[in-house]
Every structure is written in C-alpha cells, then in structure tokens.
Amino acid sequence: MDKLSVVKIGGNVIEDAEALQSFLADFTQMQDAKILVHGGGKKATAMAKKMDIPVQMVEGRRITDAKNLDIITMLYGGKINKNIVAQLQNLGCNALGLSGADGNAIQSVKRQVKKIDYGFVGDVVDVNVELFQMLINGGYTPVCCAITHDKKGQLLNTNADTIAATLSRNLSQYFEVSLWYCFEKQGVLNNIDDDSSVIETITPKVYDNLKEGNIIHSGMIPKIDNCFDALAYGVSKVKIGAPKMISGITKHTTLTLKDE
C-alpha cells in the first residue's frame, strides 16, 4: 500500500506570510503522496468587517449567512487556495486546488437546525475517492479548502479538521494514511505552560492515564477523541504538532492504536 500524508494547517500558518512560505517549502519536501487541507483563520472575519458585513456569533460559534459564505468562498476557495497553489507550483509541487464542489470531491449536508441555525454549514457525507486517487496517481497534490457542497447547488462552510479526518478515513482503503494536524503548540503537552513537555506517543492506554491524571486540558479532549476515531476507521497514524513537525526535525505527538 502506498503511503499518503494528509496535512491540515490552520490560522497560525495561513495568517503569517513567512510561516506559510516556510511551511510550503517543508510540505513540498515530504516524499509520500500528499494532500493539503487549509482553513482561512481570522481573515474571513477581517474581510467581513472591511465590507461592513456583520458576523453573527452564537455560543462562541460563527453563523454562516449567505454574505459570509460569499466571503468564505472568495477567501478560502479563491485568494488563499489559489495563492497556496501558485506558491507550491513555484516550489516544484504540482498542486491542484479543490473545493468540495470540484469534481464532487466532498459532499455534505446542511447542518440540521436544532437549537441553533448555523446557516450554510455542511457536515460531510461522502468523499469522491476516485477523484483523489486519479489526481494522486497522476502526480498531483490536492489542496483542499474548507468548503463543501450539497450537490444541489449549495456551497457549505465546513470545518477543516473534519475535512482532513474524513479524507484520511476514506482514503485509508487505498493508502497507508498519516494525518497531520498542525497547530500552535509543539504537540500534546504534559505541562501546558512548558512547550518542551511534548508527549511523544499517545496510545489508548496512555490516553486513559492522561485523562485520569487530569493532564490533558478539556479543549484537547474532543480533538484527541476525533483522532482516535480516525484511527479506528483505518488511518494509520495521527500526528499533532507545530507546522515544522512535517520536516521531521521537531518533536510532536503521534497517536496510534498500538500499545507497545
């Protein structure tokens, strides 16, 4: 089985031109087949402000109305995605940008309204694995923005972490997939105030101990639960750490099902 790396970057990389350039150089050097998944960070909020479009928040979560969806489509699908692709092309990586609508890459359904109407937000239901296989086998590197569609003509704002996890799960039928979550910290930390206290390996047993010892803070638990979900569905490894981890020279946390 060929190896495939699915790498997700967030706001801390997207919002810093130098960090992005450095990340893309490292990403280009990754030898396996690879997919990049990116969000847009705070750029959408800044642009909404500039265009006098109100951003509604409910319980700390952004509501995506039609005008904010337009902004997300312009930024994530347009400016950010196309500039990342152009930079990767310059570095020698044959990148090809995709929203979930392109080639029906990632299909979702508009999130059902229960207590809160999140607006044009999509929960992923299907991945066109044949498209990704064709592109990867053709030597292309898909660069996916955090937008999906419902196949009824509607684009939908979708969490980039979820897109990365779903792609990894679906492609693990055909590839040995490593899922890389790049974020602000060096990894899952033993001591949140000490960036060098990276826990290098988390197995289910280690995870139970960490939770029992109250070492992992509450914000990290749903993230790690999602990682173990991905592993349960066939993803080979999940890695959490700073963007530099993809170069292989910095410590980071690896999640795996194998208690050794």
DSSP the chain: --EEEEEEE-HHHHT-HHHHHHHHHHHHH--SEEEEEE--TTHHHHHHHHTT----EETTEE-B-HHHHHHHIIIIIIIIHHHHHHHHHHHT--EEEE-TTGGG-EEEEEPP-SS---BSBEEEEEE-HHHHHHHHHTT-EEEEESEEE-SSS-EEE--HHHHHHHHHHHHTTTSEEEEEEE-SSSSSBSSTT-TT-B--EE-HHHHHHHHHTT-S-TTHHHHHHHHHHHHHTT--EEEEE-GGGGGT-S--EEE-S---
* DSSP-derived pairing of the beta strands 176-182 and 3-9: parallel
Alpha carbon dihedral 179, 183, 185, 186, in 10-degree steps, equals 40
**Which residue of 9, 35, 102, 177 would you call a contact of a copy of itself, by CB under 8 A?**
102
Interacting span for a copy of itself (CB under 8 A) from 2-10, 67-75, 115-123, 240-248: 67-75
The answer to the question of residue 106 lying near a copy of itself (CB under 8 A) is no
Cα 65 from Cα 53, distance rounded (Å)? 10
**Minimum distance from CB of 226 to a copy of itself (Å)?**
27
Is 42 or 82 the residue whose CB approaches a copy of itself more closely? 82
**Which residue of 12, 104, 203, 247 would you call a contact of a copy of itself, by CB under 8 A?**
104
The answer to the question of residue 155 lying near a copy of itself (CB under 8 A) is yes
Interacting span for a copy of itself (CB under 8 A) from 114-122, 146-154, 163-171, 215-223: 146-154
**Minimum distance from CB of 74 to a copy of itself (Å)?**
4
**Minimum distance from CB of 169 to a copy of itself (Å)?**
22
**Minimum distance from CB of 39 to a copy of itself (Å)?**
15
**Minimum distance from CB of 108 to a copy of itself (Å)?**
12
**Which residue of 15, 16, 70, 195 would you call a contact of a copy of itself, by CB under 8 A?**
70
Tokens 């939908």 correspond to 156
Is 39 or 187 the residue whose CB approaches a copy of itself more closely? 39
Is 114 or 152 the residue whose CB approaches a copy of itself more closely? 152
The answer to the question of residue 149 lying near a copy of itself (CB under 8 A) is yes
**Minimum distance from CB of 105 to a copy of itself (Å)?**
8
Q: How many residues bind a copy of itself (CB under 8 A)?
A: 41
The answer to the question of residue 37 lying near a copy of itself (CB under 8 A) is no
> In angstroms, how far is CA 37 from the centroid of its own chain?
5
Is 93 or 242 the residue whose CB approaches a copy of itself more closely? 93
- Summarize as ranges the residues that interact with a copy of itself (CB under 8 A): 50-51, 70, 73-79, 81-83, 85-87, 89-90, 94-99, 101-104, 130-131, 134-135, 138, 140, 147, 149, 151-155
